[in-house]
Structure 1
Amino acid sequence: MGAAVPRLREKKERGWLRGAPPPRWVRVLPPVLLVVVCGTELASQRPVDIGFLLGVVPSLAVLSYGPLVTAAYGAIVVALLVVPAVQLNHPGNADLLTIVFIAALSVVLSLVRSRRDADLVTVRTVAEAAQLAVLPPLPESVGPVRCVGLYRAAQRETLVGGDFFDVRDGPYGVRAVMGDVQGHGLSAVGTVASLLGAFRESVLDQRDLTSAAGRLDRRLIVDSAQTEHAELFATALLLEFSAIADSVRLTSCGHPHPYLLRGGKAVELVLEPGAPLGLGFFKLSPPHVRTVLLEPGDRLFLGSDGVTESRDATGAFYPLAERLALFAHETPSDLTTRIWEDLLHFCDAVRDDVTMLVLTPRTEHVTG
């Protein structure tokens, strides 16, 4: 499996009142109400005088039908009330005019709603395309490294927030990055795009991880210089695999430590971090680089602080190492899914962007 990025596997569930299509029961309300009222009136031997309820039918049709269908329901209601062969309630002129007015108003409202929904679909399509351009899906593998990622933005109705990751192959090997910019939601998307662009350039022309991290730091400082008191910063974790993926070099700029999954155990790879990006301290406190030898079957798990700093109702942090060991037998795509589902069960609510990246070096294919 490739990158199981949420925007590709499933759309965020939206409530009916937040722009999602109406549920089936809303669509069947108008015909059901017509049948019930007419059946009750015609089946009763004595007048029950509930024909006035038919005036609600056009208003219900507005919720899920277009103007033509809404107009059809309005015409049916008026016909049932005034045609001698089927009239149910013998309404007076005032009542009939009221129902006609409601039916006509319902048609107008349905037309407005239909056009608004069409505009909303267009806006969402453009927004999703723009966000996918910022953070495109990962391929199934980059060079000798298999990739699976999961992304859940904290802000509703968005696909990209303040977290980011990417894996790229270049002349100096396969490199990966995971980062978290200040804030989350749409306000952070511009910074995410800028940092990802800097990372992709560094893959091509920076010979080592420290220089690559320095490129990201410089990009953020330049962007911050345009705004007074911007206080813009980001954390980042960078990795570089050897040509045959038998080792990985790691460096951290204030980002949570990665985990090495080996033999059913999860080992935290403690790094001596440098200062977060964009604060102007990179040269004073550059990040240290650690090299880790890899064995066949090893996997690397990278997570954002949305995972490591989530708390339950008692204030306890999510036990990531324990859960990784528990789910270590899962495939990479199932692993990220299980961690996400377990995180939701552990916390009352996840209020930060949640990002996970599982990298599997294909060392088992190395010969000689």
Structure 2
Amino acid sequence: MRRGLEDSGRLHGTPPPRWARLAPVVAVVVLCCAQWLTPGAELGYFLAALPAVAAFSYGPLGTCAFAVLVLVLLGVPQLGVANARGTDLATVAFVGLLSVVISFVRRRRDDQLVSVRTVAEAAQLAVLPPVPDQVGPVHCSGLYRAAQRGTLVGGDLYDVRAGPYGVRAVVADVQGHGLAAVGTVAALLGAFREAVLDDPELAAVAARLDRRLVADAAAASIRHPELFATAVLLEFPPGLDLVRIVSCGHPPVLLLRGSTTAELDVEPGPPLGLGLTVPELPKVAEVPLLPGDRLLAHTDGVTEARDADGGFYPLASRIPVLADDSEGLVRAVWRDLEAFTAGGPSDDVAVLLLSLPAMETRPGVPWPGVP
């Protein structure tokens, strides 16, 4: 299953770190012990700052408890911490009250932020839901990482859908990245899901996606004078051990066969959004599949990622090294990519791994639309 979208806590608010909650308690103990061990020094008055520190990690009640504790330690001489009176105690009490107010405002702001982020996450997951482990007889594994921090969806997309003409998949990279490209991603996914059900030919699916982008660009010509996307479409026809592929200016699909990795030789067509016409529809390539074959489609956020010396990530040569990772190939590719770029690539990344078991290993897995 795709990580990155199913990591549901990624956009949610998180509690303060443990050290932030322990800091005021440790400070109380340390300052009191230091004061008792050095009676001539006046260290106890540093306790007056603790309610303000507690306000960053505790709620109003917790902050109030710290304020009361500080007032007791400073106002009771018998405790040997300090001997504050009158104006000093009033000042500490005012700081404590102000800290409680700050804590209340911070808690309300955090709750509102969690609510907004939860809604944003739900909306993004509705646009690009996780790909299931299996669609029809096709096994799927994918990973998505958006370049813009704090988002789940960027300018890349992929989807796998079953229909009357087989199982079809798309991996695409639209112009731009981050939240600005999410509208285009949603439009392309909607067009693809309709085409899976309606268009008998894979090239017609590409033409439908192209029309969608052309129409969107015409409707928003001021903001998007040139709206385009690269894409690769894959189709697993019912009952056949082969895959049909259409490439629209997209990085080539990798065929993983045993210990070897090779780029599939597919004649690329123009990117989507440039106005495909019937004579210019991209060619459909048919590739026979053997038992155990896997297909890895990806966006250029993977292969165009650079290391500190400016070198590109060598995906094809790294696949044999990563293929036996216990957590799965796509997860291994992402970890390797993070290490290669020292923290992760600066562009959106999508990786989709597909495999079709041999016919004799597929009993009871019907193709949609096939009796």
Using the size of structure 1 for normalisation, the TM-score is 0.93
Counterpart selection for 2:235 from 237, 240, 264: 240
| Shift in alpha-carbon separation, 1:95–1:270, aligned structure 2, 3 A | farther
Of the three residues 6, 22, 26, the one matched with 2:20 is 26
Q: Could you tell me how far apart the structure 1 residues matched to 2:122 and 2:21 are?
A: 30
**C-alpha distance in 1 between matches for 2:103 and 2:278:** 61
Any conservation in 2 of the 1:261–1:328 contact (CA below 8 Å)?
no
Q: Is the partner of 2:280 in helix, strand or coil?
A: coil
Residue type matched to 1:342 in 2? D
- For 1:11 and 1:287, locate their aligned partners in 2 and report how far apart those are by CA, in whole Å: 41
Q: Contact conserved, 1:79 with 1:87, CA < 8 A, in 2? A: no
Moved more, 79-88 or 28-37: 79-88
What's the counterpart of residue 63 of structure 1?
56
Structure 1 pair 138–171 and aligned structure 2 pair: CA distance change class (3 A) = same
For residues 184 and 274 of structure 2, the distance between their equivalents in structure 1, rounded to whole angstroms, comes to: 14
- 5 Å-filtered alignment, 1:78-93, equals 78-86=71-79, 88-93=81-86
The CA distance in 2 between the partners of 1:93 and 1:338, in whole Å, is 65
**What is aligned with 1:261?**
256
Distance in 2 (alpha carbons) for counterparts of 1:12 and 1:312: 26
Kindly provide the amino acid, as one letter, of the partner of residue 22 in structure 1: P
Task: Render the CA deviation track for 1:140-176: whole Å, top value 9, x for unaligned.
Answer: 1011100000001100000011111000100000000
Using the alignment, how far apart are the partners of 1:367 and 1:341 within structure 2? 32
CA distance in 2, matches of 1:257, 1:88: 72
1:264 is displaced (CA, Å) by: 0.8
Q: What is the deviation of 1:281?
A: 4.1
8 Å Cα contact 1:245/1:363 also seen in 2: no
Once the two structures are TM-superposed, the CA of residue 92 in structure 1 deviates from its matched residue by 4.7
**CA distance in 2 between partners of 1:261 and 1:329 (Å):** 12
Deviations 1:266-304 (A, max 9, x none): 010122111111122454632111000000000000111
Is 1:132 equivalent to 2:158 in the alignment? Answer: no
2:368: which partner in 1? none
What SS does the corresponding residue of 2:139 show, helix, strand or coil?
strand
Match in the other structure for 1:145: 138
- Quick one: which of 112, 121, 124 aligns to 2:114? 121
- Of 302, 306, 312, the residue aligned with 1:317 is 312
Deviates more, 1:81-90 or 1:124-133: 81-90
Question: How do 1:1-368 residues align onto structure 2 when only pairs under 5 Å count?
Answer: 3-9=1-7, 11-12=9-10, 20-44=14-38, 46-86=39-79, 88-229=81-222, 230=224, 231-283=226-278, 285-330=280-325, 334-348=328-342, 349-363=344-358, 365=360
How many Å separate the matches in 2 of 1:62 and 1:99? 15
Matches of 1:275 and 1:148, distance apart in 2:
27
Do the aligned partners of residues 100 and 290 (structure 1) sit closer, same or farther apart at CA in structure 2, a change above 3 Å counting?
A: same
Q: Secondary structure at the match of 2:16?
A: coil
Q: 3-state DSSP class of the match of 2:291?
A: coil
Q: Closer, same or farther in 2 for the Cα pair 1:367/1:184, shift >3 Å?
A: closer
Q: Is the contact made by 1:310 and 1:318 (CA closer than 8 Å) also made in structure 2?
A: yes
Q: Residue 174 of structure 1 aligns to a residue in which SS?
A: strand
SS at match of 1:8: coil
Q: Offset at 1:316?
A: 1.7
Counterpart amino acid of residue 33 in structure 2:
G
Once the two structures are superposed, what CA deviation does each residue of 1:66-96 show, in whole Å capped at 9, x if it has no partner? 0111011101101111134326222253332
Q: Which amino acid aligns with 1:69?
A: G
Summarize the Cα distance change of 1:192–1:242 in structure 2 as closer, same or farther, 3 Å threshold: same
Deviates more, 1:346-355 or 1:208-217: 346-355
1:10 Cα offset (Å): 6.7
**1:11 CA drift (Å):** 4.7
Q: CA deviation at 1:181?
A: 0.7
Q: Which amino acid aligns with 1:138?
A: V
Note closer, same or farther for the CA distance 1:267–1:10 as it changes in structure 2 (3 Å cut): farther
Structure 1 residues 340 and 367: CA distance shift in structure 2, 3 A: closer
Q: Aligned equivalents of 2:211 and 2:4: distance in 1? A: 31
Instruction: Specify whether residues 204 and 281 from structure 1 end up closer, same or farther in structure 2 by C-alpha distance, changes over 3 A only.
Output: closer
What residue number does 2:367 align with?
none
Rounded Cα–Cα distance in structure 1 between residues aligned with 2:362 and 2:142:
28
Instruction: Measure, in 2, the Cα distance between the counterparts of 1:285 and 1:310.
Output: 31
